[in-house]
Amino acid sequence: MGGSKVHRSQALAALGALAHETRLDLIRLLIPTGTAGMPAGQIAQALGLAAPRLSFHLSALEQAGLLQSRKVARNVIYSVDATGVGQTISYLLNDCCCDHPEVLAACRHRPDTVSGQGAALPGTDRT
């Protein structure tokens, strides 16, 4: 069984892809749609993006392993690759920050929301 670890270059590509306003907007738009996703045209309309520009950024996210696409009729439907996104975050949290307790704590606290609702985070105090 091959352990396919997330390579640094993979995480680097994903971080680079996330480090752009438009592409972050794309993720935010597509996350709630889950597996169903959304056709490119509808995305363009939702965010007010020119078609080539949208295509450029969608392609960047897909190549970084953060988005998936499938063709339906004449539309191309994009949806987030939850595994890719999760692994990218996991790389930061686990490999890069070595489960640094303060990082985990800052990550668990919702900085803006009321206390009493803890955000679910990868179990650190579990076995």
Partner DNA sequence: ATGTTATTTCAACGGTTCTTGAATAGTTGA
Partner DNA sequence: TCAACTATTCAAGAACCGTTGAAATAACAT
* Total residues binding DNA (CB under 7 A): 26
**Which of 51, 82, 96, 106 lies at the binding interface for DNA (CB under 7 A)?**
51
Cβ 30 to DNA shortest distance, Å: 13
Structure tokens at 15: 């971080």
Structure tokens at 114: 């009321």
Nearest to 29 by CA among 16, 13, 48, 10: 48
Q: Which does 15 bind (CB under 5 to 8 A by kind): DNA, a copy of itself, none?
A: a copy of itself
Q: Which does 50 bind (CB under 5 to 8 A by kind): a copy of itself, DNA, none?
A: DNA
Residues comprising the chain, all counted:
127
Q: What is the DSSP letter of 120?
A: P
Which residue's CB is nearer to a copy of itself, number 38 or number 93? 93
